[in-house]
Amino acid sequence: MTNALSRLLVAAAGVPVVLGALYLGGWWLFALLSVIAVVALHEFWLLTRPLSPLSPAGYIGALLALVGAELGGLPWMLAGVLTAFPLAFALKGISASRQSPTASISATVMGAVWVGCGLGLFLLIRDLDRGRLAAFALLLAVWAGDTLAYLGGRVFGRHRMAPNTSPGKTWEGFVFGSIATVFVAFVTLYNDRHSYLSVGEALVLGAVIAVAAPLGDLFESMLKRDAGVKDTGRLLGGHGGMLDRLDAVLFAAPAAYYTILALT
């Protein structure tokens, strides 16, 4: 099976599930995000294995962040994810690993915060007033930007964006992706311009997502380069691992959440 066909088949199977859970919201979306969080963290622990992360603490912190987001909003999401810190400290105290405590605990907390808070803030966007629309706009904008950045870079890419981090990414791809991101956010929110976000505010939100999403992609690329791997896994076929599909959203969701709060 070719890489392109594999990507299409995985997208055809996965996109309806994600959009369906997003439409239903509530505990349906919570359940899906919890599964995604566990898989993504598993990949992250494999990626950072040399640092001996204390994975039980990371899983608990990330999942409690999602529980807190669903039940109590932002303050309880933060309370949930912060449990990763003392739990990691406690586990390190009884661990037989000789890895530096600073490295082990830092890797554990980073994984919990990166995945748990990124997905938790996406859940909080869905729970906002008009949150279904905002969450759809975010997700569709990220997907459009990622697709057009890839295609634009393949066809027109000449100038590397971050050669030491992700040699395949180009400024030309970034421009194409940014245009697609802003356009999709604008179109998705256009019908509600008089009752939700105005045209100007929708463009601002699209621009924020257009910057944050590639940064998330570059952040994960930096981690993969440090670990010496191309993808975080093969679960999603040609798309790579869960983190390979999630990286942009994990940065875009926090940026979008606070932008929406500032604009509304």
- For 51-92, the pLDDT digits (tens) are 999 999 999 999 999 999 999 999 999 999 999 999 999 999
Amino acid at 242: M
**Domain spans of the chain, in order of start:** 26-127, 130-264
Q: What is d(CA 79, CA 71) in angstroms, rounded to the nearest whole number?
A: 12
Quick check: 33 and 122 in contact, CB under 8 A? yes
Q: Which pLDDT score, from 0 to 100, does residue 143 have?
A: 94
The answer to whether residues 218 and 166 touch, using CB atoms and an 8 Å cutoff, is yes
193 φ/ψ angles, rounded to the nearest 5 degrees: -65, -25
- 114 versus 151: the higher-pLDDT residue is 114
Question: How would you classify residue 198: left for phi > 0, otherwise alpha for psi between -120 and 50, otherwise beta?
Answer: beta
* Identity of the amino acid at 239: H
Question: At residue 164, what is the residue type?
Answer: N
Residue 238: the pLDDT is: 66
Q: What is the pLDDT of residue 1?
A: 52
pLDDT band at 209 (very low <50, low <70, confident <90, very high): very high
**Cβ neighbours around 24 below 10 Å, total:** 13
C-alpha–C-alpha distance, residues 119 and 61, integer Å: 12
Confidence of residue 17 (pLDDT cuts 50, 70, 90): very high
**pLDDT tens-digit map of 233-253:** 777 776 788 999 999 999 999
163 DSSP 8-state letter: T
What is the pLDDT, as a whole number, of residue 235? Answer: 78
Whole-angstrom distance, CA of residue 9 vs CA of residue 238: 9
In this structure, what token pair is assigned to residue 33?
């995000």
User: Span 34-49, mean pLDDT?
Assistant: 96
pTM: 0.93
Predicted pLDDT of residue 11: 78
Residues in the chain: 264
Q: What's the pLDDT score for residue 77?
A: 98
Asked whether residue 3 carries a pLDDT value surpassing 90, the answer given is no
pLDDT digits (tens, 9 = 90+) for 175-206: 999 999 999 999 999 999 999 999 999 999 99
Q: Identify the pLDDT of residue 2.
A: 62
Asked if pLDDT for residue 7 goes beyond 80, the answer is no
Record the tokens describing residue 58, joined without a space: 């990371």
Per-residue pLDDT band at 29 (split at 50, 70, 90): very high
Residues with Cβ < 8 Å from 69, sequence gap 6 or more?
76, 77, 80, 120, 121, 123, 124, 127
Nearest Cα to Cα of residue 92 among 60, 48, 51, 63: 51
pLDDT tens-digit readout, 81-132: 999 999 999 999 998 888 899 999 999 999 999 999 999 999 999 999 999 9
Q: How far is CA 176 from the centre of its chain?
A: 20
Q: 89: closest CA among 64, 54, 49? A: 54
